[in-house]
Amino acid sequence: MNYQVLARKWRPHNFTEVVGQEHVVKSLMNALQHDRLHHAYLFTGTRGVGKTTIARILAKAINCENLQNFNPCGVCSVCRDLDEGRFMDLIEVDAASRTKVEDTRDLLDNAQYAPNQGRYKVYLIDEVHMLSGHSFNALLKTLEEPPPHVKFLLATTDPHKIPITVLSRCLQFNLKRLLPGQIFTQMEFILQQEHIEAEPGALKLLSRAADGSMRDGLSLLDQAIVYGNGKVGAEDVNAMLGTVAQQPVEDILTALSEGDAAAILDKINEIANLSPDFSDVLQQILQALHRIALLQQIPKAIDPDFDAEMITTLAAKLSPEDVQLYYQIALIGQRDLDLAPDPRSGFEMLMLRMLTFRPVGIASTPPVKSDQTPQLINKSQAQPISKPEITEPSAIAPAKTDRDSGAQQHSSNWAEMVTAMKISGLTRELAHNCVLENIDDTVCTLLLDPGHKQLRSARTEANLQQALQDYRKAPLKLVITTEKTSLATPAVQLTKQREDRQQAAVDAINSDENIQALKEHLGARIMPGTIEPI
């Protein structure tokens, strides 16, 4: 019955233990170092980011008898009394329950008296924006010219409700919302100290659900521990939160990149069996699309350790234009989701809208096997047309170096090998963007274009090496060199095939006799973007 919740048990007791607020901690420690303490501090930020905690640590630091690197020592009588809640010179007030002007006057009447135990008498007023207008007026004079032994520490979640006259008398610090990675790391550390087993996927879900608040995250972690009977598992957390894991989101975006409506509806049907909140699923899709767009434009702007493989794989499959379009459709669809007859139908229509409004281009065109003749279709043309002959455009081979000449003989074989090897995801993308320079029974040497070096990782290289060994049935070693090459990778070859087929389809339509007759006699015209090979 003496159990203490994690949010209270692991509340920081000094500046070093504070997570994610380095800009505030550094300023306060520098102020302590140079003895430049302001008489009034205002800490603002959303719930659970450390406003009251930092205020208590500061109250402890300015009264501590033995500062350690400008951190409270935690062992002197002042630190112990303050941690145990019996330090008489810390007057902590909840402004939400003491809003009347009489309460404020009674509080300030004692400010003139010297402190009993410490060097300073500290007034910590939490949720200060709840004070009435008269209470703020009563506080103004003391706040501007307090006695030398008094410090004011104010905390609020809504600084806009505080009069500007009060704000101008305080030194204001805005605390940041914590990143999911910071909450994840802290949860992992706490569970290690508590000797509780946890799956990384479950902690990632909890970190996102915390919505930037460490306290909310630890409260959810407490709930997950109880729900999982002493363990924190991904399935239990999914059931507890009523959400779905990242895998369905990845599958939906993958099917979206391939234009596969049937696969999308099948995945939605699987998700619906979990009784999820489709609004939350849409939130996860928006977050994934945002991080994909960041990776495509600024690779260094994304955290490499948080779902990096999923985001990198999707970034290679989706074009930047499609990502922007999907994000905008999802953002507007999120607003309209509550207007749908039911959440599932609204979510399905949202996915179908993405497919419908996706620009017709070469990215969604599947490759044609060599023994098949492509059939051409013009979406704006109602009547069937005769099959014209399609001539493949000629390609001029670029000049090759000696090294490229040595690798040329392997290029076509490498594309066939990649197709034959059972690899997927990021490993397949790495293989598709490499050129085979040399291979024998001991070593396989690949050349990787520097523009795709983010695909390299210890995991993907190990997976590709294992796939090569299984394919060649030999314990060969994989060596990947990052350098420019004039040879076409399988990915470039595939794109070139799609472009050639698309251009051949356009040329065939324009040269068709039936189309020319319609143009000449009826004034018909071909709508741009409506021609595609099938």
Angle among Cα 381, 382, 383 to the nearest 5 degrees reads 100
Whether residue 105 sits in one domain with residue 59:
yes
Q: pLDDT band at residue 276, thresholds of 50, 70 and 90?
A: low
Q: For residue 425, which of 251, 234, 249, 202 has the smallest C-alpha distance? A: 251
**Quick one: pLDDT at residue 303?**
63
Residue 478 belongs to a domain: yes
Percent of the chain with pLDDT over 70: 87
Residue 475 has pLDDT above 80, yes or no: yes
User: Mean of the pLDDT values across residues 276-304?
Assistant: 81
Confidence of residue 245 (pLDDT cuts 50, 70, 90): low
Residue 518: band (very low, low, confident or very high) from pLDDT cuts 50, 70, 90: confident
Same domain, yes or no, for 206 and 223? yes
Task: Take residue 25 and report the two structure tokens written for it.
Answer: 């901690």
Other CB atoms within a 10 A radius of the CB of residue 179 amount to 15
Please give the average per-residue pLDDT across 51-62, as a whole number.
92
Task: Give a yes or no: residue 94 inside a domain.
Answer: yes
Q: How many domains does the chain have?
A: 5
- pLDDT attached to residue 250: 82
131-185 pLDDT tens trace: 888 888 888 888 888 888 999 999 999 999 999 999 999 999 999 989 888 999 9
Verify that 20 and 143 share a domain, yes or no: yes
Unique residue bearing structure tokens 């065109």: 365
**Residue 118: inside a domain:** yes
Residue keyed to tokens 């039936």 = 514
346: in domain:
yes
Mean pLDDT confidence for 396-423: 60
The 10 Å Cβ neighbour count of residue 398 is 9
Are 485 and 407 in contact by the 8 Å Cβ rule? The answer is yes
Res 267: pLDDT:
85
Determine what percent of the chain falls in helix, strand and coil, rounding each to the nearest 5.
Answer: 55, 10, 35
pLDDT at residue 172, as a whole number: 92
* Per-residue pLDDT, 225: 92
Residue 58: the pLDDT is 93
| 19 shares its domain with 162 | yes
| Closest alpha carbon to 447 in 393, 399, 391, 408 | 408
The pLDDT assigned to 361 comes to 53
Q: Is 523 helix (H, G, I), strand (E, B) or coil?
A: coil
Beta-ladder partners of 172? 42
User: Does residue 276 lie in a domain region?
Assistant: yes
pLDDT surpasses 80 at 25: yes
Indicate if 164 and 189 belong to the same structural domain.
Answer: no
Is-contact 125 56, C-beta < 8 A?
no
pLDDT higher at 224 or 247: 224
The domain boundary residue, chosen from 356, 378, 412: 356
Stretch 29-33: mean pLDDT, rounded?
91
Q: What is the pLDDT of residue 302?
A: 65
Residue 171: the pLDDT is: 92
Same domain, 349 and 481: no
CA dist 40 and 515 (Å) reads: 80
pLDDT at 221 over 90: yes
Question: What is the chain's length?
Answer: 534
User: What is the predicted pLDDT for the residue at 247?
Assistant: 62
Average pLDDT over residues 367-392: 41
Give 143's contacts (C-beta < 8 A, 6+ positions apart): 40, 152, 166, 169, 170
Choose one of 218, 241, 264: the last residue of a domain. Answer: 241
- State the pLDDT confidence band at 389, using cuts at 50, 70 and 90: very low
393 within some domain: no
Decide: helix, strand or coil at residue 385: coil
Taking only the tens place, the pLDDT of each residue in 298-326 is: 877 666 555 677 788 888 888 888 899 99
- Reduced to 3 states (helix: H, G, I; strand: E, B; else coil), residue 484 is coil
Q: What is the pLDDT at residue 85? A: 85
Report the pLDDT averaged over residues 261-270.
Answer: 86
**Does residue 508 contact residue 387 with C-beta atoms inside 8 Å?**
no
Residues 149 and 188 in one domain: no
User: Residue 151: helix, strand or coil by DSSP?
Assistant: strand
State the pLDDT at residue 406: 46
DSSP character for 198? B
For 314, the domain range is: 246-356
**Cβ contact 417:403 at 8 Å:** no
One domain for residues 485 and 502: no
Q: What span, in angstroms and rounded, lies between the C-alpha atoms of 301 and 296?
A: 10
Same structural domain, 345 and 275: yes
Q: Are residues 250 and 290 in the same domain?
A: yes
197 and 288 in one domain? no
How confident is the model over 270-293, as a mean pLDDT?
Answer: 82
Shared domain check, 478 and 505? no
